[in-house]
Structures are given as structure tokens and as C-alpha cells.
Structure 1
């Protein structure tokens, strides 16, 4: 299902998104019609709209479109809201500035999914603080990792510091059982923000060597919640660490908001 400004979207209206690929989005998991962190997702869309398009976004209108997309759905699903301008021209993107709201829905997997094995890949996202649609680099890194026999990529910057994963934030559990987030240019994840509100955490710069020496590590985003990392490169990590179970329980205890 896909709608643009609340109406069925035409293929012509999607051409600019496919060919110019300028826009931003957020993805939200809906369970029983509720979305954890919905208000934070709306704040992200409004912030990114100002950064990308230089204009304000009517988030009450976005909520209406999301509510419409979820109407009648009883199974868990992921709603993606993409904000882009169908009139954008590759040669003159400065002329665009009337963003439209594309809403798409897909089925959601079970949580938590199986632990994943990550391979470190040198990569830094463009404008990392914005959740933008420019996913070529991230998906190329993911493909590189998968061709090497891993599940996904863990990004390492030119400074040698770990930042985030392909489409997820990464967190660590140190040898003392404390949760540590990488202090690096990363996308401010909604799931990370929710976990920070309900448990003690700290930030620190983390090298790849330090990451591999952690007691445990996990991926987190709205689709998977808290997903254990079973390995980074050739280093095995504990996918059953008690801290991971506590994080999952914390996340699942957060009530969903209705659009």
C-alpha cells in the first residue's frame, strides 16, 4: 500500500524519488495500532524537513496519513513516511521546496530476530544526523558484508571509530555490564532515545578493537527493537548476555502511541 498526501500514488509521482533520490523518511513499527516513540518520529520528520527542504512540516497531517494507512490492519507492520518533492529537478534542486508525504506499509518480522554477524566496513554516511533516502553507500556496505558471509555491515569512520550499522544504531555492553553508545556522528535513533529514557547509559568513543572486546553488542531500530550481535568480524560475542534481555524487556514495556 502506498499513498501520497493520503491518496493512491501514481508511478509518475514516484519518478522524482526514484531518479533524483532527494528526501528524508522515518520508519515506525506498529503493534496493535500503537507505535512506540511516535512523537519522537514526528519530531524527527519536522527537524529533517527543515534541514532538507527549509520548510515546516505539518505533523498533524502526517499522523492522519499514518492513521489512514493503519486502518483495518491487525498484524504487526512497519509504516514508512517519506517526505520528498515530486517536482524536484536534478539540475536545480534549490527550486524544490514543497514536500509531499508518501506513506508505505509492509509486514513486520517477529521480535527479537536472530542474532546477526557484522563485518566492519569503512564508511561514513552523508549528513548522518538526517535520516535521508540516500542509502547507496549503506546498502553497498551491507552487500559487501553479505558477500563476505556476514549479515550486515558495522561502519568504522576514517578516525577509526565505530559509529553505526547499515540501517541501525549499535550499542555495547562493557565488561562491567554497562550500556555504552558510540560517541560518533550517527543518526539519532528513536529506539536509542526511548532506551535512554528508561535505563542508565553512557557515551564513549569506541575503536574497532574496543568493540570486539566488549561483553556484548546489539543492533537497535524500530523494526527489530533490540537485536543481539553474535559476532563482529571474527570475534564472537555473547548473544545471551543478561543485559540484552533487560534491554528487550525495557523496550517492550514502553507503550505505543496512537497516531
Structure 2
């Protein structure tokens, strides 16, 4: 469930990125971002993305980040790239000596997870300040690559005591036969996760502590991120059923989420 490595079209504060712009972003990466899939100029859960950006900007820099301005910058970048569909990232940065947030928008070709069932390797790593989505996470990349070299599709991050938190680049949910269970642990609330929570409602989506020892209590599992939803068929050496009915229900909830124009 990763974005293909391809040079993006990049704008900074509404103009095509210069070498100096990219140099600043490379050498002063302290910041935050959100990733979204755009189709025909629309985004599912756009309000969630804008709220994430504003909240993170206030926490990191003490500055608001106006949602209307962000929408305009995303639309401008799509126009500059000559596309209406794309994988878009919006980064908030505050270079040294600057008093206003620098907004960098990157546009790549659209992607969607193939939906193939995933295998996950549990690893002993929990992100610092996990509720903020930010670039350059060494631990996530390190353990994700380690899992792939071991023959897995990705990594499952765990805190001390085997407490399940999130995937390296995904949220993880479990099915107990009645409700979707999201680990009640420090983690990023992904926009797809939030859309599923909205659509499933309080009876169909709950938060509960989950540990590696608890995994036998769940029939099925899945991961989600901005690229979509995929079943999990194995965590370490523990198999999970691929519940087609559950995946169909989750897929419908996600597909029913409205598109908002940027």
C-alpha cells in the first residue's frame, strides 16, 4: 500500500517549486502533511484533511492554517500539473526566520491499493507524537523495509507489552463478529479510518485496547490508509480469515462517503 516512486509536480505557496524551495524543504523538514486521493477535482473527507492540517499547524508552529487557502493551493497545483485526478500531499513547513507557514503541494498520478490481502510482521516500535502526520519517519520506513525483507507486506507497530497501535503506514482494524475494533492506543487517526467510523456509527465501530496476545479473539483484520482498504490474512504466524462480507461492507461505507470539491 505504498505510493510509487515517481517525481511529483510540486508547488510552494502557489508557484512552481524552485531549487531553493526544495532545498529548504530538504534541510528543514520539521513539519506535517496530509495525503489524499483526488478524483475529478474532489476528495473524500476533505474536511478531515483540512482539520488535520490546521490542528497540526497550530500545535507545531502556533499558527492557524486556513482551509480555504489550502483548497485554493491544491486546486492551483492540480491545474499546474494539468490533471483532475492525482495523489496529492499538502505539507506545512515553517523555515527558520519565517513568520508564516510555507505550504508545499505535491501531485503524483492517482493510486489505489490493489486490495490484495496483507501479511504483517509485528515490530517493537511506537512513533513519537503519533497523532501528527509528518514526513521523514525513519522508524516507520526502517521497520517497513525490515518486514518486507522478511517476506511480509508491511509492519505492525507495537508499544511495550505487545500493545498494538497502527501499521507502519496504515491504521489497523479488527472484526470481533459484531463491531470493528480499532486499537485504543496512541496512533494517527487516518482519514479513511475516520470515514469508516462515521459510516459504521457507534454501534459498528469501537475502540478497545488490543495486544498481540489478544489476536486470537478476532476473526478478521484489515488495514486502511488514503489509498484504500485491504484485508489482513496473517500477523506474524497467526492467520486471519479474509471475510468477504466484512470487506464488502467496509468498501461500501467508504465508497458512499461524499466527494468534496477542492
State whether residues 156 and 162 of structure 1, in contact with CA within 8 Å, keep that contact through their aligned partners in structure 2.
Answer: yes
Partner of 2:226: 222
> Aligned equivalents of 1:104 and 1:181: distance in 2?
30
How is 1:38-49 mapped onto 2 (pairs within 5 angstroms)? 38-49=46-57
Partner of 1:181: 182
User: Which of 159, 164, 167 in structure 2 is aligned with 1:165?
Assistant: 167
Task: Verify: 1:73 aligned to 2:74, yes or no.
Answer: no
Alpha-carbon offset, residue 240 of structure 1: 3.5
Aligned length: 249
How much is the aligned-residue C-alpha RMSD, in angstroms?
A: 1.6
> Aligned equivalents of 1:108 and 1:230: distance in 2?
26
**What SS does structure 1 have at the residue aligned with 2:173?**
strand
> Aligned equivalents of 2:99 and 2:27: distance in 1?
17
State whether residues 30 and 93 of structure 2, in contact with CA within 8 Å, keep that contact through their aligned partners in structure 1.
Answer: yes
Alpha-carbon offset, residue 137 of structure 1: 1.0
User: Which of 98, 101, 104 in structure 2 is aligned with 1:99?
Assistant: 101
Gap change, CA 1:183 and 1:166, over 3 Å in 2: same
**What SS does structure 1 have at the residue aligned with 2:52?**
helix
Alpha-carbon offset, residue 108 of structure 1: 2.5
> Aligned equivalents of 1:158 and 1:218: distance in 2?
22
State whether residues 229 and 251 of structure 2, in contact with CA within 8 Å, keep that contact through their aligned partners in structure 1.
Answer: yes
Gap change, CA 1:81 and 1:115, over 3 Å in 2: same
> Aligned equivalents of 1:14 and 1:138: distance in 2?
23
Scaled by the length of structure 2, what TM-score is found? Answer: 0.90
Gaps of 5+ in 1: 89-94
> Aligned equivalents of 2:128 and 2:190: distance in 1?
16
The worse-fitting range, judged by mean Cα deviation, of 137-146 and 206-215 is: 206-215
**What SS does structure 2 have at the residue aligned with 1:83?**
strand
Gap change, CA 1:57 and 1:248, over 3 Å in 2: same
The worse-fitting range, judged by mean Cα deviation, of 25-34 and 38-47 is: 25-34
Task: Verify: 1:209 aligned to 2:213, yes or no.
Answer: yes
Gap change, CA 1:212 and 1:102, over 3 Å in 2: farther
Partner of 1:128: 130
